[in-house]
Structure 1
Amino acid sequence: MTAYVIFIRDEMKDQSAYDHYRQLGVPTLAPFGGEILVANGEHEAFEGADFDGSVVLRFPDMASARAWYNSPEYEQFKSIRLGATTGRAILVEGIN
């Protein structure tokens, strides 16, 4: 079943570092079948605390999403995102 990695950004601490992370991190998705569906567009919090931005990635399945997130290819850039932003990352399974 399709899986989604959802990043909810609470605060941008370093825009320049985040932009650098995006340039380096996006190419790591393709080998795992990942694609970007949402990338920090306009948003509105219907419930809960407001947030600064969000990214939604789609993968063919949970195993592919986990493999990407834990891959050496992505691991080398993950620390840039973690230093540039605060927030949460979650993995959810789709319905088809």
Structure 2
Amino acid sequence: MTVYAVAHLHTLSDHDDVLTYIEQIQDTMKPYDGRFLVHGTAVEVVEGEWPGALVMLSFPDMRAAHDWYTSAAYQKILPLRTDHIGANVVLAEGVGPDYDARETAAAMRAAPGT
């Protein structure tokens, strides 16, 4: 199942270290079949607040996403970003093409304590 790495960048910076990070991140993702879906795009907020920018990556599965994040190549460049940009980063498994939210709701209704 496809896994998405989602980063909410709270603070932005064009520090030279950040630019170096951006120049190098793509090569760290290649061995894990990672790719950018969204990169630093300003978002249109339709509900709530969202200061900052959004980055979304995709990987073939959770193993690939974890292996990329913990890889020596990525860990080497990670401080170039974290020293200058505050962020929250999560990994989330996607749903399949036949996913039906009604089935999730039905299972939640049937669970004890609901």
Decide which structure has the larger Cα Rg and report it. Answer: 2
CA contact 2:42–2:52 (8 Å) conserved in 1: no
Q: Which residue in 2 is equivalent to 1:10?
A: 10
Q: Deviations over 1:17-72 (max 9, x none)?
A: 21111111121101001000101123122333322111100000011001000010
The Cα of 1:14 is off from its aligned counterpart by 4.5
Q: TM-score when scaled to structure 1?
A: 0.91
Q: 5+ residue gaps in structure 1? A: none
Moved over 6 A (4+): none
More strand by share: 1
CA contact 1:3–1:61 (8 Å) conserved in 2: yes
Taking the aligned partners of 1:46 and 1:91, their CA distance within structure 2 comes to: 23
Aligned to 1:84, the other structure's residue is in SS state coil
Q: Which residue in 2 is equivalent to 1:19?
A: 19
Taking the aligned partners of 1:48 and 1:62, their CA distance within structure 2 comes to: 29
Q: 5+ residue gaps in structure 2? A: 97-114
Taking the aligned partners of 2:52 and 2:15, their CA distance within structure 1 comes to: 12
Alignment RMSD: 1.3
Q: Which residue in 1 is equivalent to 2:28?
A: 28
Taking the aligned partners of 2:44 and 2:9, their CA distance within structure 1 comes to: 13
Is residue 73 of structure 1 aligned with residue 49 of structure 2?
Answer: no
One-letter identity of the residue aligned with 2:50: D
Alignment: residue pair count = 96
- Percentage of matched positions with identical amino acids: 29
Q: TM-score when scaled to structure 2?
A: 0.78
Aligned to 2:42, the other structure's residue is in SS state coil
Q: Which residue in 1 is equivalent to 2:103?
A: none
Aligned to 2:86, the other structure's residue is in SS state strand
Relative contact order: is structure 1 or structure 2 higher (C-alpha 8 Å, sep ≥ 6)? 1
One-letter identity of the residue aligned with 1:87: A
